[in-house]
Structure 1
Amino acid sequence: MTNDLEKFIKNAININNIDTPVYRIFSYERFIELITTNQLVLVQPSMWDDPYENFFLKTEVVSDDGEFGSLESLCNSWYGQCWTENEDTDAMWRIYSPEKRGVRVKTTIRKLFLTLYDTSDTNCSLKYFIGKVNYKDKEEIIEFMNSTTFSEFILGGQNTQFAEVLCTKRTAFSHENEIRLIVDDIGHKHGRGGYIK
């Protein structure tokens, strides 16, 4: 138990209670795939819907020597899956199960994170994160990106800085109460075609 808590302290972003229930609506087909393969499917952030999440990826950042660079290439190794603290909302059913063939899955933040966190991986503390999304207005997002240097993303502690960026979303989506499971596929060993299992 203590070992689990240590993992959460180092790799949890804005999480106050690791036993908080979280939910996700899967299409029937994805749910059957989950049960059959016993694997979660995470996607690259470039596949997420909100253009302001993709805005992070396309933003130019300044290196310490004044050169401009993009976060897009850094993001190619990152994958995520979105869950919610909302037990049941009509909007989520409409978005994620438009044909009314969805399945709602319930777990806890702790259980969700531990399905992914691979202690046999020597880089596990650099790769696996779970975070509660921090909702900001458009101006706050732009100001944050304008005031952040490239080296702050690269050297921002145990990959936490970049994981925090992936846990930032516009205030317009705050009703989603999102929790994100995030992986950095260091060395691109597992991801294929924008997905990782």
Structure 2
Amino acid sequence: MSNAEAGEVDLQPIIGAQRVLRARISDEELDSPIRRIFPLWMLQRALRLRQLTLVSPSLWEDPREDPVANCAMTRLRDEKAGCDFRQTFLEHYLAPAWAQSWSFNPGSDTLLRAYSRVLLDELEGRNTDPRNEGVTVTTTPRRLMRAMSKWAKDGAKYHFVIARALYGSEAQIHEWVGNVVRGPQGPRFFQSVEGRADSLLWKRDYFRHEEEVRLICIKREPTVDEGKLKHFQFDPNETISGMSFDPRLRRFEQLEREAVVRGLGYTGPVTEDSAYHRIILDIQMTTEWPDPA
């Protein structure tokens, strides 16, 4: 495998913002659309407070999403330590981090159903589970980097990374971690910005369809616990390039959702997702056909 395939992330600093870095996103992709499905209530909160929230990996639903946190170094015989068994978990070396996931995937029913739940009431046609309803929000890597550059000015102790995830088998991930901890820097590699970013950009092949782009905040100097959530101010109209509501919603309810986000100050495009529209196909005939029985 090449260095990139082996997981050695090449972090490129953004001009004028040395603590804002990107990896595995080409110059040509900086203005390509990336998407995130926000829970409806979370999007409304983000617009109301003008905040984007990054989450500690310890809160992620997949317990193997932060693979290095689940690894331990074990030595059955350690003469220097004078013991027959020694074990240390790598989670003690990890620099504090918070992240938010986006995707290059142009949209799919699989992702929609994974992150948005719509159960229409038979009488009124309304969604009976709006808390778990999702809204597809679109931006670009460049727009996110502009926001990250502002965060870096306000928080000197943080570094910010935006990068495409790298997918591999569990065996590949395990091999990479082993090579790192047995390498020159050892487990202290994960205390660096590069090492912590790299550890959070490995994902199992099981999730390859997500085509994930991860926005990561890393703090190099471990201090007191700063909590599981990290909030950063942003301008929704500068950062968001568009949004669309779940296409399974009836049109009247989509318009109600739009009225709410407009009331919260969002002025950008809201497009109607036609993925679930019924389409009549017109077949041109040159012969007669029988009447229905």
Name the counterpart of 1:89.
Answer: 108
SS in 2 for 1:19: coil
What's the offset of the Cα at 1:14?
Answer: 1.3
2:147 paired with 1:115: yes
Q: Which amino acid aligns with 2:196?
A: F
**1:57 matches 2:69:** yes
How far apart, CA to CA, are the structure 2 residues paired with 1:187 and 1:54? 18
Bigger Rg over Cα:
2
Q: Partner residue of 1:70?
A: 89
- Distance in 1 between residues matched to 2:18 and 2:106, nearest whole Å: 23
- Equivalent residues, number: 191
Superposition pairs of residues 104-183 of structure 1, within 5 angstroms: 104-117=136-149, 118-124=152-158, 127-149=159-181, 151-155=185-189, 159-183=193-217
One-letter amino acid matched to 1:11: L
Residue 11 of structure 1 contacts residue 160 of structure 1 at CA under 8 Å; is this kept in 2?
Answer: no
Q: Give me the identity figure in percent.
A: 25
CA distance in 2, matches of 1:191, 1:74: 16
On the 8 A contact 1:22/1:84 being kept in 2, the answer is yes
Alpha-carbon deviation of 1:7? 4.2
Choose 25-34 or 148-157, whichever is displaced more. 148-157
Distance 1:188 1:116, change over 3 A: farther
Counterpart Cα distance in 2 of 1:4 and 1:54: 26
In structure 2, relative to structure 1, the CA distance for the partners of 1:114 and 1:135 (3 Å cut) is: same
RCO higher in 1 or 2 (8 Å CA, sep ≥ 6)? 1
Contact 1:133/1:169, CA 8 A, preserved across alignment? yes
User: 2:278 is matched with which residue?
Assistant: none
Structure with the higher fraction of residues in helix conformation:
1
Asked if structure 1 preserves the Cα contact closer than 8 Å seen for 2:39 and 2:116, the reply is: yes
1:195 and 2:229 correspond: yes
Q: Contact 2:93 / 2:191 at 8 angstroms: preserved in 1?
A: no
Distance in 1, Cα, partners of 2:136 & 2:60: 20
- Point out where structure 1 has 5 or more consecutive residues left out of the alignment: none
Give RMSD over aligned pairs. 3.0
Per-residue CA deviations over 1:167-197 (Å, capped at 9, x if unaligned) read 11011211100000001245558942x2111
Shift of 1:44: 0.9
CA drift at 1:136: 0.8
Tell me the equivalent position of 2:57: 45
Given the two structures, how large is their TM-score scaled by the length of structure 1? 0.81
Task: Call closer, same or farther: CA 1:188–1:81 in 2, change over 3 Å.
Answer: farther
Residue identity in the other structure for 1:89: S
Corresponding residue SS for 2:51: coil
Q: Tell me if the contact between 2:180 and 2:189 (Cα under 8 Å) persists in the aligned partners.
A: no
TM-score by length of 2: 0.57
Aligned to 1:13: 23
CA distance in 1, matches of 2:174, 2:226: 30
